[in-house]
Amino acid sequence: MASNFRIAIHRNADSVDLKLIGDFDGTSACELLNALKENCDGVARVFINTSGLKDVYPFGVDTFQNSLYLLKDRRFRLVFGGKNAPSIAPERNKFF
């Protein structure tokens, strides 16, 4: 477990900004999925900023990408940004 991982959450009227900070491992991936489930109802877009991540572990990426089906009933669009966005985002996602 990445004990230094945290998520800074800022909600606007129609979007949520999530800034990932620390190391991204399997537990961090589960925390991100839970944050998406708990904080993103009723918004059109969710911006996930990865610039605060130090280390990104392949198991964390696999856990996140393979669990996105849990969000299939949600109606928001994920938009990834930051230096680690290409490694975390699933294919066909937007980057900022």
**Per-domain residue ranges of the chain:** 6-87
% pLDDT > 90, the chain? 79
Residue 9 tokens, joined: 């959450």
C-alpha count within 13 angstroms, C-beta hemisphere, residue 22: 17
pLDDT at 96 over 50: no
> What pLDDT shows up at residue 36?
96
pTM for the model stands at 0.90
Residue 16: band (very low, low, confident or very high) from pLDDT cuts 50, 70, 90: very high
> What pLDDT shows up at residue 75?
85
CA distances from 9 to 12, 35, 39 (A): 10, 9, 8
> What pLDDT shows up at residue 72?
86
The CATH number fitting domain 6-87, selected from 3.10.450.50, 3.30.750.24, 3.40.50.850, 3.40.50.280: 3.30.750.24
